């Protein structure tokens, strides 16, 4: 599993330009699924057919990551840019980024008298070009870049860019690998454009039209020095979401997941996330409404180049999904 994590987190896939990640995931799953297709927005939809006795279930993890988009190139070859997804300017200062074609760049700032003046309009990317013409050979307006950096393997804990939400993609792929025969018709959906407004999940859910939707995404934790208060910790097990600012998870589905975790002695914790949203919210409001919930991988330093997850938590999320799908999914 570690090799797959490394491969996915190190690949390129900002919102709206997920092609390389999609190809990689498609390679991993095409032998495991009964059908694989890509919809108009670029969602990768893999179906594992049920036996007709179960439910139609959609699982969603987003392929896209946060990044930047080039908005102008000046005469000296420096790039100005805008965010793709949510990050704060201080996170970007001094960071290395990489474009789809392999062009690398460094983010830095105009001279500021006070660091509080640091805004995105003060930042630029230096791609080592000496003038506009040289820069334009490698990068154009509208091109996107993502953080650059290899996976740090700390043993039980892994650090990389784009854990949000490649780790969710890994959970779905592993679930598909381990699931075997089950009653339910399960759609494993690797969505696009989550970071810019839960867009892919919306059109995918419309197309799949499931009875139950479960998103797998990262969530924040409250276990670092003088952190904000949040009762989720790294290594504490799969986080079963109660609510975030985009949805209130269906209580019957949430209870069901808790029972499955208890029965199978899978470590779990309940999650109330005060800020943030997931694909489950888009699924929940699709068509006439869908029973939706979330299994989250606890993650430190979200939306930075160094997002940290715990291998045990990842395994717990896979176990919880597999055991849920092996059961009846009859919600009380």
Per-residue exposure over 13-41, b if at least 16 CB sit within 10 Å of its own CB, e if not? bbbbbbeebbebbeebbeeebeebeebeb
The token pair at 159 is: 């650090």
207 binds another protein (CB under 8 A): yes
203 binds another protein (CB under 8 A): yes
CB 52 to another protein: min, Å: 24
Q: Which of 7, 80, 96, 177 binds another protein (CB under 8 A)?
A: 80
Q: Which of 121, 134, 227, 328 binds another protein (CB under 8 A)?
A: 121
The reply to whether 194 belongs to the active site is yes
Of 15 and 295, the one with the shorter C-beta distance to another protein is 15
- Of the ranges 11-19, 46-54, 220-228, 236-244, which one interacts with another protein (CB under 8 A)? 11-19
Of 132 and 255, the one with the shorter C-beta distance to another protein is 132
82 binds another protein (CB under 8 A): yes
Catalytically annotated residue among 28, 65, 174, 194: 194
71 binds another protein (CB under 8 A): yes
Burial group, residue 248, by CB count within 10 angstroms (0-12, 13-18, 19+): middle
Site string for another protein, 33-62 (x = CB under 8 A): ------xxx-x-------------------
Degrees (nearest 5) of the Cα angle 326, 329, 331?
Answer: 155
Quick one: angle between helices 163-179 and 2-9, nearest 10? 140
Q: Which of 74, 156, 231, 274 binds another protein (CB under 8 A)?
A: 74
Burial group, residue 208, by CB count within 10 angstroms (0-12, 13-18, 19+): buried
Per-residue exposure over 76-97, b if at least 16 CB sit within 10 Å of its own CB, e if not? ebbbbbebbbebebebbeebeb
Q: Which of 93, 112, 141, 154 binds another protein (CB under 8 A)?
A: 141
Place of tokens 């919306």: 202
199 binds another protein (CB under 8 A): yes
15 binds another protein (CB under 8 A): yes
Q: Rounded CA gap, 124 and 109, in Å?
A: 6
Beta strands in the chain (DSSP E): 35-38, 44-48, 56-62, 67-73, 78-84, 96-99, 104-109, 123-126, 144-147, 152-153, 157-160, 185-191, 212-219, 238-243, 268-272, 291-298, 307-310
Q: Which of 90, 128, 142, 222 binds another protein (CB under 8 A)?
A: 142
Of 196 and 311, the one with the shorter C-beta distance to another protein is 196
**Nearest one of 159, 158, 302, 144 to 217, comparing CA atoms:** 302
- Of the ranges 24-32, 82-90, 291-299, 311-319, which one interacts with another protein (CB under 8 A)? 82-90
Of 82 and 272, the one with the shorter C-beta distance to another protein is 82
84 binds another protein (CB under 8 A): yes
202 binds another protein (CB under 8 A): yes
Of 26 and 39, the one with the shorter C-beta distance to another protein is 39
Place of tokens 């709206």: 16
Q: How many CA atoms lie within 13 A of 307 on its CB side?
A: 27
Give the single-character DSSP code of 227. Answer: P
Q: Which of 11, 103, 193, 324 binds another protein (CB under 8 A)?
A: 193
Residues 251-270 that bind another protein (CB under 8 A): none
Q: Rounded CA gap, 262 and 14, in Å?
A: 37
CB 166 to another protein: min, Å: 19
Residues recognised as catalytic: 194
Residues near another protein (CB under 8 A) are: 15-17, 39-41, 43, 69, 71-74, 80, 82-84, 121, 141-142, 193, 196-197, 199-200, 202-204, 206-207
């Amino acid at each position: 599993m570690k090799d797959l994590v490394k491969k996915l987190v190190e690949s390129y896939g900002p919102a709206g330009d997920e092609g390389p990640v999609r190809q990689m995931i498609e390679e991993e799953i095409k032998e495991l699924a009964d059908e694989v297709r890509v919809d108009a927005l670029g969602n990768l939809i893999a179906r594992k057919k049920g036996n007709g006795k179960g439910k139609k279930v959609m699982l969603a993890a987003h392929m896209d990551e946060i990044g930047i988009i080039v908005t102008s190139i000046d005469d000296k070859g420096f790039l100005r840019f805008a965010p793709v997804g949510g990050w704060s300017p201080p996170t970007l200062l001094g960071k290395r980024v990489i474009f789809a074609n392999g062009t690398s760049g460094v983010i830095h700032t105009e001279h500021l008298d006070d660091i509080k003046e640091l805004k995105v309009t003060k930042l630029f990317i230096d791609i080592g070009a000496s003038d506009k013409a040289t820069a334009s050979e490698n990068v154009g307006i509208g091109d996107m870049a993502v953080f650059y950096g290899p996976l740090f393997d700390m043993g039980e804990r892994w650090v990389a860019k784009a854990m949000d939400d490649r780790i969710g993609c890994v959970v779905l792929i592993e679930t598909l690998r381990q699931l075997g025969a089950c009653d339910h018709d399960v759609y494993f959906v690797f969505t696009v454009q989550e970071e810019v407004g839960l867009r892919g999940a919306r059109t995918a859910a419309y197309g799949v039209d499931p009875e139950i939707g479960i998103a797998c995404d990262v969530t924040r934790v409250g276990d670092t020095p003088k952190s904000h208060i949040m009762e989720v910790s790294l290594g504490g097990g799969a986080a079963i979401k109660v609510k975030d600012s985009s949805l209130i998870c269906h209580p019957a589905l949430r209870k069901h997941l808790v029972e499955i975790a208890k029965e199978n002695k899978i470590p779990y914790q309940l999650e109330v996330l005060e800020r943030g949203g997931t694909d489950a919210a888009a699924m929940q409001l699709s068509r006439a409404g869908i029973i939706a919930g979330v299994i989250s991988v606890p993650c430190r330093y979200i939306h930075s180049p160094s997002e940290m997850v715990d291998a045990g938590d990842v395994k717990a999320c896979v176990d919880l999904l597999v055991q849920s799908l092996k059961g009846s999914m009859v919600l009380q």
